Amino acid sequence: MRILPDANALTWAAAEYMVALAANQERFTIALAGGATPRALYQLLAADPFATALDWSRVHLFWGDERCVPPDHPDSNYRMLSETLIGRVPLPTGNIHRILGELEPSKGAYDYEKSMADFFENRPQFDLVLLGMGDDGHTASLFPYTSALAETSRWAVATEVNNAIRWRITLTLPVLNTARRVLFLVSGSGKAARLRDVLQGPLDPQRMPAQLIQPLSGEILWMVDAAAAELLTPSD
């Protein structure tokens, strides 16, 4: 775990980490998080010094999850990426593998699985999965007490959640836990109690799905700011 002083430092540290990982890789595949936290990160990656630090033709963007809305909808994770990163760096369009949120949800999930099957030629193994955590302990669109948590064969599923946007498409644990690296970004005091529960409380993965992210052989790194970390018991 890395605890950064504030949200800005967190964003910089994440950008440096990602660029270091991607450098010198022939192909760098990343599944991106939606929501508010990573927005500043994507904006920073589109700016100097990071935008010119990467050969973007080698970078392939996937999404960890998407809301089932059209790509121009205000709640679309794709739209958030297109406002912050896509279009500001020389990413070939063929490197953008968005989830088709405009489709009927189960169709969108199958379509995403097919695009991953075509790209990875086998089970998807992302070089990096970027995840956030909701204040309820969800991550990607793996929400508490949902059937998506129990999925062991599908790579992506549609999931109905008790949220403004009822339907989402999410990568499942078989894919998320096959990643070479997982980076959690958590910021703000609003996440502090749940972060303590997830990291230092008893295992209760149905209630806190973020606890289910246990890469089989990959590395997991939590980057959090001091506000999010304020309730953690310092490790010895």
**Interface residue list for ligand 6PG (CB under 6 A):** 33-37, 64-65, 77, 132-134, 138-140
How far is Cα 31 from Cα 119, in angstroms, rounded to an integer?
A: 13
Which of 60, 194 has the CB closer to ligand 6PG? 194
Q: Which residue is nearest to ligand 6PG (CB)?
A: 132
Are 51 and 88 contacting, i.e. CB atoms less than 8 angstroms apart?
A: yes
Tokens of 156: 């992506």
**Residue 8: CB minimum distance to ligand 6PG, A:** 15
Tokens of 160: 């109905």
How far is Cα 46 from Cα 32, in angstroms, rounded to an integer?
A: 15
How far is Cα 209 from Cα 201, in angstroms, rounded to an integer?
A: 13
Which of 53, 231 has the CB closer to ligand 6PG? 231
Cis upstream peptide for 202 (omega within 30°)? no
Strands 65-67 and 167-171: antiparallel
**Residue 77: CB minimum distance to ligand 6PG, A:** 5
**Residue 225: CB minimum distance to ligand 6PG, A:** 12
Collect all residues with Cβ–Cβ distance below 8 Å to 221 and sequence separation of at least 6.
1, 2, 17, 181, 182, 183, 184
Which of 23, 36 has the CB closer to ligand 6PG? 36
Which of 209, 218 has the CB closer to ligand 6PG? 209
**Residue 106: CB minimum distance to ligand 6PG, A:** 18
Which of 12, 53 has the CB closer to ligand 6PG? 12
**Residue 64: CB minimum distance to ligand 6PG, A:** 6
